Chain A
Amino acid sequence: MYKGAQIITQPVGKEGDLMVLNWGVQHPASGPMRIKVWLDGEKIVKVENDPGYVTRNLEKMLEYRTWENAVVNVERICFIDDLGTILNWALAVEKLADVEVPKNVQYFRVILAEVGRIVSHLIGIGGMFGALGVATPMMWVLALREYYLDFLEHYSGYRISTAAIVPGGVRFEPKKEDFDLLRKAVEETERRWDDYKEVFIDNPTLVERYKGIGIIPKELVFELGLRGPVARASGVDYDLRKRYPYSSYEDFDFKVVVKEEGDAYARFLVVLEEIEESVKIIKQALEGMPEGDKWKIRMPKKIKAGEAYSAVEWARGGIEYHVVSDGGTGAYRAKISAPSFMNIWALEYIAPGHKLADLATIFASLYICHGDLDR
């Protein structure tokens, strides 16, 4: 006989019975992850993260790949912005092999990395609206994203998981049509951007649900080692592109978007404004692209024993690899330190005290990708 829904209750502390709710694994706003929520009525008392539903253990896989093969595994850390992760792998391997790539390759890598950031940030904004059930802005950003995917598809043959950057250079020589498609994407962004901002920034639904919610104080950023837009929205001016420039980022004029409020709305604004900065960088790189016809340097099959630590500013924050070589054809050990894995733990600190409905917006504003959370 059907007895109806069973409410699981469990005593916590001296407060008495609280309801325990499993938010996820199949919740539309959570993605493949479970968040265990202890509720007192509508109020969140305690939150526990339970990730690990899409773990592939890429760190072990990388030990069985050659230096160039590993690109395929590395780019699958997160499909949304795969270019930043490969760029970091390429830089780490080049550091191990003492190889410096030419300036034109560095500029084109910057273009690819920034395209990856735009593509990812557009989905991120879509996700933040998606958590509210507002579908129109989500469709708008996905429509704009297509222009950048067209460029990636024309250049590498794939829309996502492009394998466009390899240790020693980029995979193909970019053709004139590639640059034309990219210019078209940039123009389209600029043409639409004012409309987008008008609808996105002062969107009453968004402002009501995001402002003053999930405030991360500056101290928590240092305590938990938070990275990327989450850290910058709490007033921490930390961007690896500016702080420790790599791949000729020092040549470009852009500003690091920093907000002081630290709430979910500030995180939304940081992600939104970073798209403008990325567009600025792409335009400068297209104009100032140095002459050069060498797009890939031959890399040695075996790389001498040693280790390298490498970090780049990825869409979600700094992604960092510690790669050890024992003189073989592949990595002896590769540690992947991913931003979502650090940022997700802020949820356990900031969610208690909010209403259950706010959990979706706080989670979306943390800009988590389950691919790099679980690896």
Chain B
Amino acid sequence: MGFESFAKKMEMYFGVKAEEYPQNRVAKTYMFKIQPHHIREVAKLLKEEGFNFFHTLSPVDYSPKGRGLELNYFFESIEERIWVLIRTEIPLENPEIDSIHDIFPALEACEREEWEKFGINFKGHPRLKPLLLDDTLQGKWVQRKSYIPEPHRK
């Protein structure tokens, strides 16, 4: 258990190496770029290896830059004080990824929020229904770059 064994297993099972992520101002962080269909296996592995504290799910829409939708999952190992960033990219035309809410219950609300704002279909999520946004904004995927909000004044 621990980061060493996690990194070893990630390389063995999925063929991805740990990369330094110095952009985290808070703590030492390693980034793993994985294939989207591996997310459930990676999440299970994270939990087994002691990365039991979920922090943030942060999607970034890179469609104006000619890329897809990037998903960033931040996890922390409370004992080791090491953070892990799981990064994956899904196409914006068909944004689909498996839900990991049953492995990390903290993600249930986060996935629901990002479904509402980005239109990411988290497969297997039990309640993908409106959470924060107003009814008039439902289905417009407001957080995508293609959505331009109407200004209040000109």
A interface, CB within 8 angstroms of B: 51-52, 55, 57, 59-60, 91-92, 95, 222-225, 236, 238, 240, 243-244, 246, 306-311, 318, 320, 322, 324, 326, 332-333, 335, 337, 341-342, 345, 374-375
Tell me, rounded to whole Å, the shortest Cβ–Cβ distance linking A229 to chain B: 17
Known: A60-B142, A223-B106, A322-B56. A333 touches B61 (CB 8 A): yes
**B153 beta carbon closer than 8 Å to chain A:** no
Residues of A within 8 A of B104 (CB): 223, 225
Minimum distance in angstroms from B52 CB to a CB of chain A: 5
Distance in Å from the Cβ of A243 to the closest Cβ of chain B? 7
State which of B27, B29, B60, B109 has its C-beta within 8 Å of the C-beta of A333: B60
Shortest CB distance A203–B (Å): 33
In Å, the complex CA distance between A342 and B109 comes to 8
Known: A52-B131, A333-B60. A310 touches B26 (CB 8 A): yes
A55-B142 Cα distance, complex, nearest whole Å: 13
**Which 4 pairs, one residue from A and one from B, show the smallest C-beta to C-beta distance?**
A225-B106, A335-B58, A52-B132, A337-B56
Range of interface residues on chain B? 35 or more
- Contact among A57, A310, A333, A335 with B25 in the assembled complex (CB-CB below 8 Å): A310
- The answer to whether B142 touches A345, judged by C-beta atoms less than 8 angstroms apart, is no
Known contacts being A222-B53, A225-B55, is A246 close to B25, with CB within 8 Å? yes
A59-B143, A222-B53, A341-B109 given as contacts; is B26 within 8 A of A51 (CB)? no
Can you show 23 pairs from A to B with CB atoms below 8 A apart?
Answer: A51-B131, A55-B132, A59-B143, A91-B25, A222-B78, A223-B106, A224-B105, A225-B106, A236-B78, A309-B23, A309-B24, A309-B85, A320-B74, A322-B58, A324-B60, A326-B65, A333-B60, A333-B61, A335-B59, A335-B60, A337-B56, A341-B109, A345-B108
Q: Are B53 and A225 in contact (CB under 8 A)?
A: yes
Inter-chain residue pair count (beta carbon < 8 A)? 95
CB <8 Å contact, A55 and B25: no
Q: Do A306 and B23 have beta carbons less than 8 Å apart?
A: yes
Q: Is the CB–CB distance between A322 and B72 below 8 Å?
A: yes
Q: CA–CA, A95 to B117, complex, Å?
A: 27
B123 lies within 8 A of chain A by Cβ: no
B-to-A contact residues, CB < 8 Å: 23-27, 29, 52-56, 58-61, 65, 72, 74, 78, 81, 85, 104-106, 108-109, 113, 117, 130-134, 142-143, 147, 149
Chain B residue contacts of A333, Cβ below 8 A: 58, 60-61
Q: How far is the CB of B117 from chain A (nearest CB, A)?
A: 8
Could you tell me the distance between the alpha carbons of A15 and B59 in the complex, rounded to whole angstroms?
A: 41
Most chain B CB within a 10 A radius of its CB, from A51, A60, A308 = A60
Find the B residue at minimum CB distance from A57.
B142
A223 partner residues in chain B, CB cutoff 8 A:
104-106
Nearest to A59 among chain B residues (CB) is B143
* Chain A residues in 8 Å Cβ range of B106: 223-225, 342, 345
A324 to B67, CA, bound (A): 15
Known A59-B143, A243-B81; contact A374-B132, beta-carbon cutoff 8 A: yes
B81 touches A308 (CB 8 A): no
Nearest chain A residue, comparing its CB with the CB of B130: A52
* Contact assessment for A320 and B55 in the assembled complex, using a CB-CB cutoff below 8 Å: yes
* Closest residue of A by beta carbon distance from B54: A225
Q: Give complex CA distance A16, B56 in Å.
A: 39
> Which residue of chain B has the shortest Cβ distance to A322 in the bound complex?
B58
Residues of A within 8 A of B56 (CB): 320, 322, 335, 337
- Complex Cα–Cα for A101 and B85 (A): 27
State whether A309 touches B108 (Cβ < 8 A).
no
| A95 lies within 8 A of B23 (CB) | yes
A236-B143 Cα distance, complex, nearest whole Å? 34
